[in-house]
Amino acid sequence: MKNAGRREPNVIPGFGITLGFTTFFLCAIVLLPLSALVLKAAGMDFARFMDVITSPRAIASYKLSFGASMVAAGVNMVFGFAIAWSLVRYDFPGRKFVDAIIDMPFALPTAVSGIALTTVFAGNGWIGQYLEPLGIQVAYNWIGITVALTLIGMPFVVRTVQPALAEVQRDLEDAAETLGAGRFYVFRRIIVPTVLPALLTGFTLAFARAVGEYGSVIFIAGNMPMKTEITPLLIVIRLEEFDYAGAAALGCVMLAISFVMLLAINLLQVWGRKRMMVSR
Amino acid sequence: MAGPSNAGEIAAELSTRPGHRSLGASLVRWLVIGVSLVFLGALLAAPLAAVFAMAIEKGWTAYFSSFADPDTRAAIRLTLLTAAIVVPVNTVFGITAAWCIAKFEFRGKSFLITMIDLPLAVSPVVSGLIYVLLFGLNGWFGAWLMENEISIVYALPGIVLATMFVTFPYVARELIPLMQQLGNDEEEAAITLGAGGWFTFFRVTLPKIRWGLVYGIILCNARAMGEFGAVSVVSGNIRGLTTTMPLHIEILYNEYNFVGAFAVASMLSLLAVVTLIIKTLVERSGYRRR
């Protein structure tokens, strides 16, 4: 840290070779293939490109992918906050165990969570059998898609909110309570503002992951065109039809969404850091 | 759990204060914990338990005999082979990138970090698609590869490349912040005293970053063995030849061979559990993610 900004001869060897290797490998594995996608789509006739990405089936898939991801990230914001709150503020039997299994969706292959969720939420499944009589059909439905996307997004929200919640200054809360503030007032005026940037970052991370998700969704989705067909699945279908240009066009839409999400996440993090500085 | 934890102490202290609404507070407390546990139970615990319950539904004999299937064995071998190639390569890359980024100042550094993280933001399907567009029949190198009878897509190289793309950032993003925080002082001292670059790395840097490295490698490995979307696009699903374990699960599941599908799934679930256990142990040893 203390050397930052000061230009002095660096005695550590290997700058040229490590930078060269990193850049080369990055270009070969990531940048060259991604540019192939963009150039493939750019090589298309513009009218045809627009036709593909605005076809009714594509639009229906965007609506589903965005809608379900939005709902899933929203659900995670509520429950993820509750989980993070329980883990940071309360002690209960099995807290450490719960803390450890939060990361399960990161480690569990998506195909496994896909077939497992389908089994549990199908009409005859452990949970599905109680929901079916209530008229709630989860599997092979947009609700099922949302459940799968909620599972894979959950750790993102919990893991970003947890450290932020630990940062909330308890003396501030105590001071407010001593001055006669109610619990809800303290929650609304002290806790929520401190945690908000983390909560929104978690929401965006969960949303970004959910929009592109494929493995855990296709088993539970039912995959009906126009109804339960997510955008990544539509890309796979186009590929199976050997419509490479069509797949590339839709892939470009997904890639553009990824870039927007990355930008949003970076901006949120900058905002969060600034707020943190001000509050100190 | 020796002694009261921090949260417990604070709660105990708070409850002794005047004006503390202990009944309401504990009601809220158990409500929040209860809601959290029900949510995690339905979303995490039930599906995970279902994997094992379905796998042994027809008894242990059926469970074990599903691993005798040659296609299942081929899928397990392919998954292990892919991980055995991808994880070491990405580990070397991660260490190299972290060395370059943490030890030196240069222009475009934050851009480089963003580019390294890029695969995490890309949909798995797109990650597979890009290699099909590059190496597929109509791709940039398709004709040349065809002439020279090299197959990349619908073969092992494609699976390896797609997996490498997806797991590309895992080791690097663990090591970069860790090495940046540790600073250069000890390495500078070693070099100044006449140690060589490799010696410095193995004797000074590596011991300091080992837990971060383990952390990155196990997560990289879990994702490499479990990747579905990207591999599914490049694999062509040739049974017994280009199906990894996750793809084989899909095939068996779609054939209503649930015992077979969940038996393979149970192995991958065990991998996930082991990954989490190692991760927890690494965290216990004092390693904190940055």
| Contact present, B176 and B102 (Cβ < 8 Å) | yes
Burial of B149 (0-12, 13-18, 19+ CB in 10 A): exposed
The answer for residues whose C-beta is within 8 angstroms of residue A206's C-beta and 6 or more apart is A72, A73, A76, A77, A80, A153, A154, A156, A157
**How far is Cα A234 from Cα A250, in angstroms, rounded to an integer?**
8
**How far is Cα B221 from Cα B218, in angstroms, rounded to an integer?**
5
Contact of A116 with chain B, judged by CB distance below 8 Å, is answered with yes
Q: Which of A88, A109, A244 sits opposite B268 (nearest CB)?
A: A109
pLDDT tops 60 at residue A5: no
pLDDT of residue B11: 64
DSSP characters for A73-84?
HHHHHHHHHHHH
Contact of A52 with chain B, judged by CB distance below 8 Å, is answered with no
pLDDT tops 60 at residue A116: yes
pLDDT of residue A186: 84
DSSP letter at A140 equals T
Report CB contact under 8 Å: B225, A18. no
| Contact present, B50 and A120 (Cβ < 8 Å) | yes
Q: Identify the CA nearest to B265 among candidates A216, A121, A154.
A: A216
Which residues from B are below 8 Å from A212, CB to CB? 121-126
Could you give the angle at which helices A56-89 and A244-279 cross, rounded to 10 degrees? 30
Indicate the pLDDT class of residue A10, thresholds 50, 70 and 90.
Answer: confident
Report CB contact under 8 Å: A32, B276. no
Contact of A10 with chain B, judged by CB distance below 8 Å, is answered with yes
Mutate which of B13, B96, B122 to disrupt the A interface (most A C-beta within 10 Å)? B122
State ipTM. Answer: 0.89
pLDDT of residue A2: 44
Measured torsion, CA atoms of residues A201, A205, A211, A212, in degrees rounded to the nearest 10: 160
pLDDT of residue B87: 98
Report CB contact under 8 Å: A21, B96. yes
- Residue whose tokens read 């539970």: A220
pLDDT in tens, chain B (290 residues): 444 557 666 666 655 554 455 677 788 899 999 999 999 999 999 999 999 999 999 999 999 999 999 999 999 999 999 999 999 999 999 999 999 999 999 999 989 999 999 999 999 999 999 999 999 887 788 888 888 888 888 999 999 999 999 999 999 999 999 999 998 999 999 999 989 889 999 999 999 999 999 999 999 999 999 999 999 999 988 888 899 999 999 999 999 999 999 999 999 999 999 999 999 999 888 787 76
- Min CA distance, B242 vs chain A (Å)? 16
Tell me how far CA of residue A126 lies from CA of A56, A117, B22, B46, B95, in angstroms.
Answer: 36, 10, 37, 8, 45
- Sorted by where each starts, the structural domains of chain A and their CATH numbers stand as 1-42 (no CATH), 45-279 (1.10.3720.10)
Percentage of residues in chain A with pLDDT exceeding 90? 66
- Residue whose tokens read 């993090």: A269
Contact of B24 with chain A, judged by CB distance below 8 Å, is answered with yes
Q: Which of B32, B123, B272 sits opposite A86 (nearest CB)?
A: B32
Long-range interactions of B55-61: CB distance < 8 A, separation 24+: B55/B259, B55/B262, B55/B263, B55/B265, B55/B266, B57/B258, B57/B259, B57/B262, B58/B259
**How far is Cα B54 from Cα B257, in angstroms, rounded to an integer?**
11
Report CB contact under 8 Å: B50, A120. yes
Cα dihedral sign for A227, A231, A233, A235? positive
Report CB contact under 8 Å: A110, B129. no
Could you give the angle at which helices A244-279 and A46-53 cross, rounded to 10 degrees? 70
pLDDT of residue B5: 59
**How far is Cα B72 from Cα B83, in angstroms, rounded to an integer?**
17
**pLDDT tens-digit profile of A172-196?**
888 888 888 887 888 888 888 889 9
Tokens of B172: 């690097």
Report CB contact under 8 Å: A110, B226. yes
DSSP characters for A150-182?
HHHHHHHHHHHHHHHHHHS-HHHHHHHHHTT--
Nearest chain A residue to B264 by CA distance is: A112
Mutate which of A8, A52, A91, A240 to disrupt the B interface (most B C-beta within 10 Å)? A91
Which residues from A are below 8 Å from B250, CB to CB? 111, 219
Contact of B168 with chain A, judged by CB distance below 8 Å, is answered with yes
Contact of A161 with chain B, judged by CB distance below 8 Å, is answered with no
Q: Identify the CA nearest to A196 among candidates A261, A266, A272, A263.
A: A272
| Contact present, B90 and B167 (Cβ < 8 Å) | yes
Measure CA of the first residue to CA of the last residue in chain A; give whole Å.
21
Q: Which of B118, B126, B227 sits opposite A251 (nearest CB)?
A: B126
Contact of A8 with chain B, judged by CB distance below 8 Å, is answered with no
Task: State whether residue B143 is helix, strand or coil.
Answer: helix
**How far is Cα B142 from Cα B151, in angstroms, rounded to an integer?**
9
pLDDT of residue A9: 64
Nearest chain B residue to A250 by CA distance is: B126
pLDDT tops 70 at residue A278: no
Contact of B285 with chain A, judged by CB distance below 8 Å, is answered with no
Count H helices, E strands: chain A? 15, 0
Within 13 Å of residue A124, how many CA atoms lie on the same side as its CB? 0
DSSP letter at B149 equals T
- Residue whose tokens read 């513009």: A46
**How far is Cα A262 from Cα A254, in angstroms, rounded to an integer?**
12
Report CB contact under 8 Å: B43, A258. no
- Min CA distance, B261 vs chain A (Å)? 9
Mutate which of A77, A119, A254 to disrupt the B interface (most B C-beta within 10 Å)? A119
